[in-house]
């Protein structure tokens, strides 16, 4: 299975890993949880890494950090 992501300037913009149904379901559950929080306007959490926030497109709007 390959995951392609945007924004990679150096190297390969993909991550390759074995498909495991349980891993996919766990990942989907994390996304579902995040969507539920967004729908409830629960924005209390932040990335936990200022280097991530520094590159984030939402840094000028974010109140989480």
Instruction: Report whether 63 contacts 41 (CB < 8 A).
Output: no
Least distance between ligand SF4 and beta carbon 21 (Å): 29
- How many of the chain's residues bind ligand SF4 (CB under 6 A)? 10
Fill in the per-residue mask, 35 to 64: x = in contact with ligand SF4 (CB under 6 A), - = not in contact: -----------xx----xx--x-xx--x-x
Dihedral over Cα of 39, 43, 45, 48: its sign = positive
44 Cβ contact list (under 8 Å, min separation 6) = 64
Least distance between ligand SF4 and beta carbon 1 (Å): 25
5 binds ligand SF4 (CB under 6 A): no
């Amino acid at each position: 299975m390959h995951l392609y992501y945007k924004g990679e300037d150096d190297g390969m913009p993909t991550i390759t890993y074995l498909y495991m149904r349980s891993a996919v379901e766990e990942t989907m559950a994390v996304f579902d949880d995040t969507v539920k929080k967004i729908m409830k306007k629960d924005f209390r959490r932040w990335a936990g890494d200022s280097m991530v926030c520094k590159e984030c497109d939402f840094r000028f709007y974010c109140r989480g950090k």
